[in-house]
Amino acid sequence: MRSFPRRRSSVSLPLAPAALPPLPEEPSPGPVWPASTRALPSGDLAVGGVALAELADRFGTPSYVVDEDEVRARARTWRTALPDADVAYAGKAFLSRTMIRWIEEEGLCLDVCSAGELELAALAGFPAERVVLHGNAKSPDDLRTALRLGVGRIVVDSTGEIPRLAALVPPGARQRVLVRVVPGVEAGAHAAVRTGVEGQKFGLPIAGGEVEDAVARILGQPRLELVGLHCHLGSQIASVQPYVTAVRRLVPLLARLRDLHGVTFPELDLGGGFAIAYRDGDPALDPHAYAARITGELSLQCAHAGLPVPRLTVEPGRWIAGPAGVALYRVLAVKSTGNRVFVAVDGGMSDNPRPALYGVRYTVRLVGRASAAPARPVTVVGRHCEAGDILAEDVALPGDIRPGDVLAVPASGAYHVSMASAYNLVGRPPVAAVSDGRARLLVRRETLADLRSRDVGE
């Protein structure tokens, strides 16, 4: 693994001279705030040794803060839990050159879904042989880029993809592939992210013979090397049991494929979807509990089937990036309508569409000043022209909340910036990293000039 120097900004943001005890522990296994979070006497919070309100002043709002040490610690947790497996960070959660560097330095592989993500990984110097390419509808450019860069695995999602991919592989070369199967396991926090069941766009169902047909077609392509199976059950899965069920369905499939074709496949990718906590008390998946249960079940099922245990791959994305990120907003307006109090901020669904898409609920905290005012339930809303532009419903904020205040939203490191848009021509926010009391910019704010430069019509 290639080593990189850890670059630091020369600018340090000072903290208050003394710190209060850490925030109370969460009642669930998954913390809402990064482990480095500390309360300051001023009423502010510090993450990575840097005061959040000072970050809001320095980088503007809305903006995102990522705790580098939290990312690294969470990546290391998976490597420790599964030392004999491949841990592939799911780049769709959040990807930047610096994030890619952190992931490589921690010994992880990388899971990508497009030519754009592939090119960014190449620009960051990530080893292509440790990259896995997914996608239910890979474009010719996606496939050509993957082959040009020499990615380690391409996940075949449909039978029609097989001849298209084989035709692009250069003569004399072989591309390693996995087949994505649907094990018929319903798991995930919302119907839109349950990908392990039939009747959705991903993969080939075990029931019906589609997998056997795809395997036969791949084995008939001399430029493709089938090395195993892949599945992904969904997102925000807090229990290990759905993964156990998947293993119990996938190992017999491996045995049937061995009996049909005389081939034993050496790899099994169980995907990701591991839950994190967004609010106090939310359940989260424990990697060590997952590792113990899944490796034990895999060994048991393979012994029953007379198969060698395949090398396991898992794909945590949200679990690594989500709790490491904090979103910062500035209050623009406060008003009461009927029996509801609305607190409007300078961001919204353009930088976090998840509440509108999935009904996700977040923690919100006032930072930058102390308040003795009693808390009251409010609805934090965005600035966009949608009634559904709601960031957090019925959260408790001080009764004296006012324009200019800074609000912090933890567990914001995954699927915020990566899903952001330019709705209402509001530019996407910047991303800053914090560690050891210092902050540095990773991704700059998208400006109006950036947006105008794309409009080339008269």
191 vs 122: CA distance, rounded Å: 34
* 214 and 362 part of one domain: no
In this structure, the strands spanning 340-345 and 438-443 are unpaired
Q: How many CB atoms within 10 Å of residue 148?
A: 14
The mean of the pLDDT values for the chain is: 89
Q: Report the pLDDT averaged over residues 46-53.
A: 97
Confidence (pLDDT) at 358: 81
Pick 245 or 387 by higher pLDDT.
Answer: 245
One domain, residues 249 and 100? yes
Same domain assignment for residues 61 and 76: no
User: For residue 357, what pLDDT band results from cuts at 50, 70 and 90?
Assistant: confident
- Residue 160, pLDDT > 80, answer yes
Domain boundary among 290, 321, 352: 321
Q: Give which of 269, 290, 315 is closest to 93, Cα–Cα.
A: 315
Q: Which range marks the domain in which residue 291 is found?
A: 68-321
Q: Are residues 151 and 52 part of one domain?
A: no
Which of 186-195, 208-217, 294-303 has maximum average pLDDT? 294-303
Q: Which residue has the higher pLDDT, 203 or 106?
A: 106
**Residue 258 and residue 128 in one domain:** yes
- Which pLDDT tens digit goes with each residue over 226-249? 999 999 998 889 999 999 999 999
Quote the pTM value: 0.89
Residues 62 and 75 in one domain: no
Q: What is the pLDDT of residue 184?
A: 79
Hey, what amino acid is at 30?
Answer: G
Which residues are tagged catalytic? 385
* Domain presence at residue 28: no
Residue 97: which of 440, 454, 394 has the closest Cα? 440
Predicted pLDDT at 76: 98
**Residue-level pLDDT at 361:** 87
Flag the least confident range among 48-57, 145-154, 333-342.
333-342
Q: Residue 19 domain-assigned?
A: no
Phi–psi pair at 237, nearest 5 degrees: -100, 115
Query: In the predicted model, is pLDDT for residue 26 greater than 80?
Result: no
Average pLDDT over residues 32-57: 96
Would you tell me how many other CB atoms lie within 10 Å of the CB of residue 168? 15
Could you tell me if residue 244 is inside a domain? Answer: yes
pLDDT of residue 441 exceeding 50:
yes
CA distance 355 to 346: 16
- In a shared domain, residues 207 and 355: no
Residues 161 and 266 in one domain: yes
16 within domain boundaries:
no
Residue 196 has pLDDT above 80, yes or no: no
- What is the average pLDDT across 157-173? 95
- Look at residue 435 and tell me if it is in a domain: yes
Position 224: which residue type?
L
| The dihedral sign for the CA sequence 45, 47, 51, 57 | negative
Q: What is the pLDDT of residues 294-347, one digit of tens each?
A: 999 999 999 999 999 999 999 999 999 999 999 999 999 999 988 899 999 999
Residue 441 lies inside a defined structural domain of this protein? yes
Tell me, yes or no, whether 315 and 378 share the same domain: no
Return the percentage of the chain with pLDDT > 90, whole number.
Answer: 81
Window from 52-66, 183-197, 392-406 with minimum mean pLDDT: 183-197
Are residues 204 and 226 in contact, defined by beta-carbon separation less than 8 angstroms?
no
Q: Given 321, 344, 371, which residue is the final one in a domain?
A: 321
Calpha distance 316→291 (Å, rounded): 13
pLDDT given at position 97: 98
The CATH number given to whatever domain includes residue 406 is: 2.40.37.10
DSSP string across 404-428: T-EEEEES-SSSSGGG---GGGPPP
Q: Quick one: pLDDT at residue 29?
A: 41
Residue 329 lies in a domain: yes
In a domain, 166, yes or no: yes
Q: Is it the case that residue 16 has pLDDT exceeding 70?
A: no
Please tell me the predicted confidence (pLDDT) of residue 199. Answer: 64
* pLDDT, average across residues 112-132: 97
| Domain final residue, candidates 287, 305, 321 | 321
CATH number of the domain within which 204 lies: 3.20.20.10
My answer on whether 341 and 445 are in the same domain is yes
At 318 the pLDDT is: 96
Do 232 and 291 belong together in one domain?
A: yes
Residues 261 and 329 in one domain: no
Confidence (pLDDT) at 200? 61
Whether 213 contacts 159, CB under 8 Å: yes
Is 80 exceeded by the pLDDT of residue 394?
Answer: yes
How big is the chain, counted in residues?
Answer: 458
The structural domain count of the chain equals 2
Residue ranges of E strands in 284-364: 311-314, 325-337, 340-345
